[in-house]
Amino acid sequence: MRNVLITGASRGIGLELARQLAERGDAVTVTCREPSAALTDLGVRSITGIDVTDDASVSGLADALSGQSLDVLIHNAGVLSRESLDDLDFDRIRRQFEINTLGPLRVIAALRGNLHSGSKVGIVTSRMGSIEDNSSGGMYGYRISKAGANMVGRSLAHDLADQGIAVALLHPGMVATDMTGGNGIPPADAARGLIARMDALTLDSSGGFEHAEGYALPW
């Protein structure tokens, strides 16, 4: 049985990750801002009131987990808004940077003490953060923030390697959640792929950027 922590599990992909990992027997703890009915029904341990943009909140999370070892940490919490060149809302862009880029850095740094040699860290990022794969422009805040998340993950992979901790950057696919207005593959399929990628992650593959279906993505 592995101890797993997932951020942003009130709904969508995070909720489904929690469901599948709990079903296979892992000891799952999740964080959320407010527990949803679906999360409450799942019956996993929830640490509520955790906003990944807030230092005090994330330090409260570290306190709540003090002394507990984490085998797997999946930073899933994220947001998307759409800004075109004709509709640049810098507050919204900053908000995405706070949540999608600094959020994983803040959470993973705060929980370093809970990780050990052999622990695995996953950041749910997006291929929208790939510079090479950007063939359509727009989506300024989301693209910038996920490109930043990719850099956070690559640096963490280097910085945590000496401690024996591997880090994966994972794109879940286009998934039917609130974020996409329900368009895409079922969250259960995305979660299954993400779990397979976390299972396969080793120090040798640490720092990679992969699709949940198992192939490398361009940076």
Ligand X SMILES: NC(=O)c1ccc[n+]([C@@H]2O[C@H](COP(=O)([O-])OP(=O)(O)OC[C@H]3O[C@@H](n4cnc5c(N)ncnc54)[C@H](OP(=O)(O)O)[C@@H]3O)[C@@H](O)[C@H]2O)c1
Catalogue the active-site residues.
Answer: 142
Figure out which of the listed residues 6, 8, 97, 194 binds ligand X, where binding follows CB under 6 A: 8
DSSP string, 196-210: HHHHH--TTTTT-EE
For ligand X, the closer of residues 80 and 111 by Cβ is 80
Stretch that binds ligand X, among 30-38, 113-121, 151-159, 209-217 (CB under 6 A): 30-38
**String of contacts with ligand X for each residue 148-177, x by CB under 6 A:** -----------------------xx-xx-x
The reply to whether 39 sits near ligand X by the rule CB under 6 A is: no
The reply to whether 179 sits near ligand X by the rule CB under 6 A is: yes
Question: Whole-number minimum distance, CB 73 to ligand X, in Å?
Answer: 14
Question: Whole-number minimum distance, CB 164 to ligand X, in Å?
Answer: 26
The reply to whether 184 sits near ligand X by the rule CB under 6 A is: yes
The reply to whether 130 sits near ligand X by the rule CB under 6 A is: no
Separation between Cα atoms, residue 149 and residue 36, nearest integer Å:
26
Single-letter code of the amino acid located at 202: T
Is the distance from CB of 49 to CB of 33 less than 8 angstroms?
A: yes
Question: Whole-number minimum distance, CB 145 to ligand X, in Å?
Answer: 9
- Put residue 31 in one of left, alpha, beta given phi > 0 → left and psi -120 to 50 → alpha: beta
Stretch that binds ligand X, among 9-17, 61-69, 85-93, 158-166 (CB under 6 A): 9-17
Question: Considering only residues 64-83, where is the footprint of ligand X by CB under 6 A?
Answer: 76-80
Q: Which residue has the tokens 């990992």?
A: 21
Separation between Cα atoms, residue 159 and residue 170, nearest integer Å:
19
What residue spans of 24-126 are helical by DSSP H?
37-42, 55-64, 90-96, 103-110
Burial pattern 10-31, b for ≥16 Cβ within 10 A else e, equals bbbbbbbbbbbbbeeebbbbbb
The reply to whether 48 sits near ligand X by the rule CB under 6 A is: no
Single-letter code of the amino acid located at 78: G
Residues that bind ligand X (CB under 6 A): 8, 10-14, 32-34, 50-53, 76-80, 99, 124, 126, 171-172, 174-175, 177-180, 184
